[in-house]
């Protein structure tokens, strides 16, 4: 059950639906974790399952930043599109992170307040072309 919540949450991030992301995160936090922060497969929690342990952090990070390859007509990657705060839940309206790994080998430092980007730095050690998109 919890894996389905992660999938629905990930779909919500790519549909830019922060309310649904919030709903999925709240549901998983309330229903799929023991007091020790071990994760459970079913509501309850009732059955230990390590699979969801990476799902919640992945969902949180995907709501903060996404990086997708941009391709040409032949399907070759020509650049990467980096989207900042695509589906930020209200409960995370302000924050800061350093060292977030993105697809394409990028590393992101980002700070935001009230859902708006204050500052960001994309570390591009592989010198790949990228653009910040909205």
In tens, the pLDDT along 83-105 reads 999 999 999 999 999 999 999 99
Domain range spanning residue 45?
2-133
Is the separation of the CB atoms in 87 and 60 below 8 Å?
A: no
* 74 CA to centre of own chain: 29
Burial class of residue 81 (count of CB atoms within 10 Å of its CB; 0-12, 13-18, 19+):
middle
Overall pTM > 0.75: yes
CA angle 45, 47, 48 (to 5 degrees): 95
Alpha helices in 15-134 (DSSP H): 18-31, 55-64
Whole-angstrom Cα distance, residue 12 to residue 9? 5
Please count the structural domains in the chain: 1
- On the question of pLDDT at 2 being above 70, the answer is no
Token match 């790949």: residue? Answer: 128
- On the question of pLDDT at 1 being above 50, the answer is no
Whole-angstrom Cα distance, residue 82 to residue 69? 9
Q: What is the pLDDT of residue 74?
A: 97
> pLDDT tens-digit profile of 9-52?
889 999 999 999 999 888 887 777 777 767 666 665 566 666 66
If one counts every other C-beta atom within 10 angstroms of the C-beta of residue 72, the result is 9
């Amino acid at each position: 059950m919890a894996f389905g919540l992660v999938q629905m949450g990930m779909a919500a991030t790519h549909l830019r639906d922060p309310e649904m992301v919030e709903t999925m995160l709240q549901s998983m936090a309330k229903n799929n974790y023991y007091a020790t922060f071990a994760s459970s497969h079913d509501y309850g929690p009732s059955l230990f399952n390590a699979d969801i342990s990476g799902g919640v952090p992945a969902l949180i990070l995907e709501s903060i930043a996404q990086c997708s390859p941009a391709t040409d007509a032949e399907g070759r990657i020509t650049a990467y599109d980096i989207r900042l705060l695509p589906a930020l839940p209200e409960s995370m309206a302000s924050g800061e992170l350093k060292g977030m790994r993105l697809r394409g080998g990028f590393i992101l430092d980002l700070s935001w307040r009230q859902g708006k980007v204050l500052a960001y730095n994309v570390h591009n050690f592989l010198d790949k072309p990228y653009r910040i998109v909205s």
